[in-house]
A and B are shown apart, each in its own frame.
Chain A
Amino acid sequence: MVLEATMICIDNSEWMRNGDYSPTRFDAQKDAVSLICGAKTQANPENTVGVLTMAGKGVRVLVTPTSDLGKILACAHGVEVGGEMNLAAGIQVAQLALKHRQNKKQQQRIIVFVGSPVKYDKKVLELIGRKLKKNSVALDIVNFGEEDEEKTEKLEALLAAVNNNDSSHIVHVPPGPSALSDVLISTPIFTGDGEGASGYVAAAAAAAGGGFEFGVDPNLDPELALALRVSMEEERARQEAAAKKAAEEAGKGEKGEPSTSQDAIMTENVDPGTSEPEKKTHDLTDDENALLQQALAMSMDDSSSTVAVRDTDMSDASADDHDLQLALQLSVQDGKGDQSNPNDANNIFADQSYMSSVLAQLPGVDPNDPAIKDLLASMQNQSEKKEEDSESKEEEKK
């Protein structure tokens, strides 16, 4: 939680019209600037950030160091692209702006975006770097846009002159599919020196939904994650059951395949699903047992709607596969008359040996655990009861 005053130097020269960073280099910069401002102000509420432009008619300070995020973002909007960047003057003006910051207790930092070629000598840059170091100003350089041997060399020399105890950094961002801001998030420019803004970074990454299965953090909401995982496995199981049935109907020679593929898919499903919330599944507590039973009961109850859902799912997925087409037709016919497909699913869950093998693959679950045995037994009873109910219903219909 370092108390810091930061000046961001934006490159708004003609080179920024290029579209190799989407949508244009300049817009990518603006995104990165707004992210940096957010990260800095979140890390410490007393941090201040200011912005200046280096090209255009000359170096111009858009906003002096302030902690008001809205003001910073508003000022960054009206900036126009044009002219040539003046790196040395930009850094010196930034240093001056920091010198006149209101709170002298803040550490000074300059973040400079260098997208166009650097016309200054290495010597001049080193001199500037030494002056910054002497006045204990840290410098972060973002090297993107134009790629030039000389440019990289000069910027590295500048960094070496400024660097005091690794407080200054340089990041090279090559053009590519990922946005400038995404690349910057993982660099020390955002994460400070290991602490502080990493909380903001984690929040930004989580908001994008990246890295977690189903887009839900198992640490934040373990029950939701568990429920999602269970229903996903169930859905897959049912699809595989239909495929298996189709294969049986179509040709007995293919019988071996779907079941093995089913097993393979089930194991695949189990492995990634459990890699993250593994700690949560260590003990299947009574609560979870009850939830699991409820989920299973609900999904098996509502057979007609699930058949319809499954139809749409399967038609989407199996446009090409002839066997699955057959399966579709068969399942539609079956679904109208009887509840054979849910019974298939029932059978799968009721097949105790199969279930115990699946459960054995779940880490931390012992199939011989009495709780699990009870669960399986009760599920079996339930499925038997369901069959009885359905049979009795059929009799009533007749």
Chain B
Amino acid sequence: MSCLHDHSCEEHDCSTDWSLYKHIDLSKVSALNEAVSGSVKSVFKDWEQRLNSSEGYLESNEDDPELIVFIPFTSDVKLKSISIVGGADGTSPAKMRAFINREGIDFSDAQNMQAVQEWDLAENLQGVLEYQTRYSRFQSVGNITLHFPVNFGGDASTTQIHYIGLKGEATQLKRDVVATIVYEITPNPSDHKTRAETGGSLSHVE
């Protein structure tokens, strides 16, 4: 499938650019106000498949165009740009607001909080438009929440999203990883001798 960007695509492979979807923790992806529970997972796929909605797409409930998508990553990422493919007939989202590293955001939170960045979207049925981020703010993203408050209106009573593409770099760092912790109800000081107590750092050779 040829890339419709206005540059020649032989230099790079668009598919590899948009490969940040591989670093998404798909089991923990969730959405609020989705009509079919679990359908949000179908929007994260390879660039080449972005127009292929045979496995379902994300649609909001009747008469309610708002959507919130929560995307956690398996390691911290640096997010460069985002691409959204919406539905036809005005069901594409018109605005997008992003929140970083916050869990459990629901609609009242999203409406009251200041987003890290907001974009006005255009209808992008071929998936060629990308929306760049303020890179300095998106340097270590453990999870991102996207809020789509309105769609393009008209006859559309729902919002449809067929593809969400993320471009950037994955670092190997992980957030909030807890190492093995040993809980002691009655700690015994003799188990935790410090260096000073054991007679300093000089070694003996007998």
Q: Which residues of A contact B (CB under 8 A)?
A: 99, 104, 130, 133-136, 164-165
Q: For residue B60, which residue of chain A has the nearest CB? A: A134
Assess whether A165 is in contact with B103, with CB atoms less than 8 Å apart: no
Q: Does B104 contact A (CB under 8 A)?
A: yes
Q: Nearest Cβ in chain B — how far from A383, in angstroms?
A: 65
Q: How far is the CA of A112 from the CA of B130 in the complex (A)?
A: 47
Asked if B118 is at the interface (CB within 8 A of a chain A CB), the reply is: no
- B32 at interface, CB cutoff 8 A: yes
Contact indicator A99/B106 (Cβ below 8 Å): yes
Please name the 6 residue pairs, one residue from A and one from B, whose CB atoms are nearest each other, closest first: A104-B104, A134-B33, A104-B103, A135-B106, A165-B37, A136-B32
Bound-state CA distance A130–B62 (Å) is 10
CB proximity of A375 to chain B, nearest CB, Å: 58
Chain A contacts of B37 at CB under 8 A?
A: 164-165
**Which residues of chain A come closer than 8 Å to B104, judged between CB atoms?**
99, 104
The smallest beta-carbon distance between B112 and chain A, in angstroms, is 13
CB-nearest residue of chain B relative to A100? B104
| Separation of A134 and B35 alpha carbons in the complex (Å) | 9
Whether the pair B32, A135 counts as a contact (CB closer than 8 A) is yes
A-contacting residues of B (Cβ < 8 Å)?
32-33, 37, 61, 64, 66, 103-104, 106-107
Residues of B within 8 A of A130 (CB): 64
Q: Which residues of B contact A99 (CB under 8 A)?
A: 104, 106
Tell me, in angstroms, the Cα distance from A164 to B177 when the chains sit together. 34
Residue of A nearest to B105 (CB): A104
- Residue of B at shortest CB range from A106? B104
* 18 interchain pairs, CB-CB under 8 A: A99-B104, A99-B106, A104-B103, A104-B104, A130-B64, A133-B61, A134-B32, A134-B33, A134-B61, A134-B64, A134-B66, A134-B107, A135-B32, A135-B106, A135-B107, A136-B32, A164-B37, A165-B37
Nearest-neighbor residue (CB-CB) of A134 within chain B: B33
Name the residue in B32, B37, B106 with the highest tally of chain A Cβ atoms < 10 Å from its Cβ: B106
- Interface of chain B: mostly helix, strand, loop or mixed: loop
Select from chain A the residue with minimum beta-carbon distance to B33.
Answer: A134
CA distance A130 to B106 in the complex (A): 14
Identify whether the interface residues of A are mostly helix, strand, loop, or mixed. Answer: loop
- Say how far B110's CB is from chain A's closest CB, in angstroms: 11
Across-interface contacts of A136 in B (CB, < 8 A): 32
Q: Which residues of A contact B103 (CB under 8 A)?
A: 104
Most chain B beta-carbon neighbours within 10 Å: one of A99, A130, A134 = A134
Complex: how many Å from CA A134 to CA B61?
A: 8
CA distance in complex: A164, B36 (Å): 9
A136 to B34, CA, bound (A): 9
Which of chain A's residues has its CB closest to B62's CB? A130
> In whole angstroms, how far apart are the Cα atoms of A239 and B66 in the complex?
77
- Chain B residues near A164: list those with CB within 8 A: 37
Task: Report the bound CA distance from A134 to B104 in whole Å.
Answer: 14
Residue of A nearest to B103 (CB): A104
Q: How far is the CA of A136 from the CA of B38 in the complex (A)?
A: 12
Q: Closest chain A residue to B106 by CB distance? A: A135
Closest chain B residue to A101, Cβ basis: B104
Give the residues in chain B near A104, CB-CB below 8 Å.
Answer: 103-104
Residues of A within 8 A of B32 (CB): 134-136
- Which residues on B sit within 8 Å (CB–CB) of A135? 32, 106-107
Nearest chain B CB to A261's CB is how many angstroms away?
Answer: 62
Collect the chain A residues with CB atoms within 8 Å of residue B66's CB: 134
| Alpha-carbon distance A179/B18, docked complex (angstroms) | 60
* In the bound complex, CA of A133 to CA of B34 (Å): 10
CA of A104 to CA of B103, assembled, Å: 7
Chain A min CB distance to B71 (Å)? 15
Q: Provide the bound-state CA to CA distance between A134 and B108, in Å.
A: 11
Shortest distance between the CB of B38 and any CB in chain A (Å): 10
Cα distance A149–B66 in the bound complex, in angstroms: 35
Closest Cβ–Cβ distance, residue A264 to chain B (whole Å):
58
- A165's nearest neighbour on chain B, judged by CB, is B37
Q: Which residue of A lies closest to B63 (CB)?
A: A130
Give the chain A neighbours of B64 by CB distance below 8 A: 130, 134
* Assembly CA distance A165 to B107 (angstroms): 21
CA A164 – CA B103 in complex, angstroms?
A: 22
A157 shortest CB reach to chain B, Å = 16
Given contacts A133-B61, A134-B32, A134-B33, 7 further A-B pairs with CB under 8 A are A99-B106, A104-B103, A134-B64, A134-B66, A135-B107, A136-B32, A164-B37
Give Cα A134 to B64, complex, Å.
Answer: 9
For A133, the chain B residues whose CB sits under 8 A away are 61
- Inter-chain contacts of B61 with A (CB < 8 A): 133-134
- For residue B64, which residue of chain A has the nearest CB? A134
C-alpha spacing A312/B107, complex, angstroms: 74
What is the distance, in angstroms, from A139's C-beta to the closest C-beta of chain B?
16
| A130 vs B107: C-alpha distance when bound (angstroms) | 13
Q: Once bound together, how far apart are the Cα atoms of A99 and B110, in whole Å?
A: 13
Q: Point out the residues of chain A lying under 8 angstroms from B106, CB to CB.
A: 99, 135
Nearest CB in chain A: distance from B64 CB, A = 7
A133 to B32, CA, bound (A): 9
